[in-house]
Amino acid sequence: MWGWSKSHRSPIALDFGVDSLKALQVQPGDPPRLLAAAMTPVPEEARFEPQARQAFHAQALRDLIKRGGFRGRKAVCCLPATQTLVQSFDLLRGEDSSIENQIGLHLRERLHVDPSRMVIRTFPVPGPASSKQEVICVAASREAVMRQVAAARRAGLDVTAMHCEPLAILKAFAHLYRRAEDQTRVTCFLDIGAATTRVVIARGREMIFAKTIHVAGDHFTRSHAKLHDTSFTDARQTRWSSDDEPGDSLECLIDELQLCLRHHQMRCPDQPVDRVVFLGGESRHTAFCQVIARSLRIAAQLGDPLARLQRAPGATVSDAIDLQQPQPGWSVCMGLCLCDVS
């Protein structure tokens, strides 16, 4: 089939999440065509133990790829979100040392991190000419990255690229900024997962702010379990079926988000954020998102990165994925499919 030929399919995008393991393959185009999608939930006994979760990912990925109908051996992954450092640095322009050397120095002196043991991605922030250049640094330990590579190899895959979640999120929605008038629009993408919340502010397709907040869905579930004296599993089910606010944990997240927006406002006072796009598995909880949107006082919408996909003939989709419903948790996989792999 033409749509499955080697030159017309993306590498298999892998998302090693705390809540689930996901894999996606598309045929790039405008719009892209869905070739295969599969996911499997992470069991509770592996959810909170990193080593157990890594072992589950490695075993489950082989089964997922085998029964998912994927083609080829090439794969693309993300730096592991739960173990990723996101930090902005103001670097001196015109210095003899390169951006990489300056970033390494900041990591050592300010964050006490050995850059030689990290996989690092850098993103210069566009701005007026001055003596300094703001650069967003995204870094994860080589050990954590190599565990993902090893899991992919056990499944018979070759990892051809390793990107980061902020970049993947922007790639998933880059088609929204094709018109000239949209390229100056400032959007805050808010990806609320199980263990972390990712904040990415972009002007058009350009990243101008990024941060990882270690408050997310599992924190709200534990708060609910403690409040109602119940198990994590029961608390998760009842929280999703109710409109109750998760209490202090949500206030903590809102405070962090407001700090992010204030930081952006100080840096770019003439470019306010004009909308928030909710992503991540937790964004399916409508009442939860509405509370956050009201607190931020910014127009908000739910993002669905799979909405514009056309289903190719012979495409295979896991029974766990309902494409008739919004799928905000697939932004990372969708973006990875559209990232450069060279």
Cβ-contact 238, 229 below 8 angstroms? no
The tokens for 51 are 């080593």
User: In the chain, at which residue ranges do the beta strands (DSSP E only) sit?
Assistant: 12-16, 20-27, 33-41, 74-78, 84-92, 118-124, 132-141, 158-163, 186-192, 197-203, 206-213, 275-279, 300-302, 310-317
How far does CA 4 lie from the centroid of its chain?
Answer: 27
Tally Cβ neighbours within 10 Å of residue 75: 29
d(CA 215, CA 255): 11
Indicate the length of the chain as a whole number. Answer: 342
d(CA 126, CA 139): 20
Query: Which helix (H) or strand (E) covers residue 67, if one does?
Result: helix 50-67
pLDDT tens digits, the chain, 342 residues: what are they? 334 455 578 999 999 999 999 999 999 999 999 999 999 999 988 999 999 999 999 999 999 999 999 999 999 999 988 889 999 999 988 665 688 899 999 999 999 999 999 999 999 998 777 778 899 999 999 999 999 999 999 999 999 999 999 999 999 999 999 888 888 999 999 999 999 999 999 999 999 999 999 999 999 999 888 888 999 989 888 887 776 655 577 899 999 999 999 999 999 999 999 999 999 999 988 888 999 999 999 999 999 999 999 999 999 999 889 999 999 999 999 999 999 765
d(CA 44, CA 81): 19
